[in-house]
Amino acid sequence: MIHISDEDFIALRAHGEETYPHECCGVLLGKSEASGNRVHLIVRAGNTRTDSAHNRYNIAPQELVRIQRQARGLGFDIVGFYHSHPDHPAQWSQTDFAEAHWFGCSYLITSVEQGRAITTNSFLLTGTSEETKTFQNEQVIVGAPAAPAMAAHKGEA
C-alpha cells in the first residue's frame, strides 16, 4: 500500500484537472517502509511529450536528476510517480508498463473525465528485472496514519 496525505492526494488530482486534456506527471518523494511507500512531498514535473500530450507523458531526465537531488537534500527518496489519463480509465496501459523501470516504486494514475478527476489508483512495480516485472494493485491510504479520522481509499477517490 501507499500512504499519502490528504493535501498531496488532492494536489496531484488537481494537477490532472489543470493540465486536461493533456496528461500531467510528477514525482512522489518519501520513504519506503515495511507497510509500503510513504509520500512526504509531491513534486510537479513537466510533460515533455508535447507532440502527444493527451495520451503520453515523459519527464525529462534532467528534471529527474534535479528532483532526485532535491529528495536527497530533504532526506527523502523517490518512492513513486503520478500521471493522469484524460478521458481514459485509471488503469495502467501497455505503454505505462513498457516504460516502467523503477522497481519498488508506486505508479499513481488518475482518470480525468471532461476536466474532472474521477478515480485514482496505484500500482506497485514488482519484480527484479525487465523480464519478471509486474504491476501490482496497491491500496491508497489517504491521510496521516496516526490521525483518528484517517480515510482509506481503496484506490478510488
Partner 1 sequence: MKIHIPTPLRSYTGGKETVEVAGATVAATLDQLATDFPELRNHLFTGEGKLRSFVNVYFNDDDVRYLPSKEETAVSDGDELTIIPSIAGGSVCFAGFCCCL
Binding site for partner 1 (CB under 8 A): 23, 25, 27, 32, 49, 52, 55-59, 61-62, 64-65, 68, 72, 77-79, 81, 83, 85-86, 88-89, 91-105, 107, 125, 129, 137
* 3 vs 143 by CB, closer to partner 1: 3
* 6 vs 104 by CB, closer to partner 1: 104
In the numeric block, the cell 529527474 is attached to 64
Shortest distance in whole angstroms from residue 148 CB to partner 1: 32
Q: Which residues, in sequence order, are CB contacts of 151 under 8 Å at separation 6+?
A: 6, 142, 143
Q: How far apart are CA 15 and CA 33, in angstroms?
A: 26
Shortest distance in whole angstroms from residue 149 CB to partner 1: 31
Give burial (CB, 10 Å; 0-12/13-18/19+) of 65: exposed
